[in-house]
Amino acid sequence: MLGKSSASLLLTFESAAFSPLSSSDVSISTPSLALLMQKPPCGVRPHVQTNINRERCRILSCTLKRWKINSIGQTEAVVLEDEEKKTWEECKGMLSTLSFSAEVADVMLQKAFGWIHSPYWGEEKKKEVPRYEMVNEVLEYLKGLGLSDDDRHKLLKKFPEVLGCDLNDEVKTNVATLAREWGIKGKTLRNLLLRNPKVLGYNVDCKGDCMAKCTRCWVRF
């Protein structure tokens, strides 16, 4: 039974549908595994090759991780009008000044403005074309909080969705709340934002009575 399962698993990994990975990523010899599963002669204690099995598990684990990472980068085609394309490219250009490649900047904008699924938004985020002024205002506000270019790069890498948050009603309001309720500002605020930038987009406080908007709730703070 296990031998058949292993063979089936090998075929799955080497199929064309798994094209992001080369067949060399998984080099499992099913015949050798089959030998391990054969019934030993009477009176002979079977020798279990644990090191080989551990190595196979490690290879499978690493391969699945690589596949997961590759899957994250998959995006849908964004169809825009000429003027919208121009605006989109301008926003990508702004992100490139913070050392993001064009490809990464494109994915960040799609996450921030609802073009690809982000668990942060849940089901509420509708597709919209980013406006240059909106993205620029968010970046400049973060800079005004004392975040360097490197700090903003780290923050946006963790939480690109901040670009799609409302600057006045969410980002600025939350920064004011942190200062008023917990005295968090200056360097303490900088350290907090680098550690947990999602706090900038919190817009719900269920006070323990769950509203099913946990990714944006202050209860997580």
Task: From residue 107, give the alpha-carbon distance in Å to each of 29, 103, 178, 185.
Answer: 38, 7, 29, 31
CA nearest neighbour of 116 among 58, 65, 77, 162: 77
Helix or strand or coil: residue 131? Answer: coil
pLDDT per position as a tens digit, 27-44:
434 444 443 444 545 554
Q: What is the pLDDT of residues 163-201, one digit of tens each?
A: 999 999 999 999 999 999 999 999 999 999 999 999 998
Cα-Cα-Cα-Cα dihedral sign, residues 11, 12, 13, 16: positive
- The CB density around residue 34, as the number of other CB atoms within 10 Å, is 14
Q: Where are the domains of the chain?
A: 2-72, 82-220
Task: Give yes or no for residue 133 having a pLDDT over 90.
Answer: yes
Choose from 58-67, 126-135, 138-147 the range with maximum mean pLDDT. 138-147
Structure tokens at 53: 């099995």
To the question of pTM greater than 0.75 for the whole model, the response is no
Which fold would CATH assign to domain 82-220? Transcription termination factor 3, mitochondrial (1.25.70)
Query: How many CB atoms within 10 Å of residue 114?
Result: 16
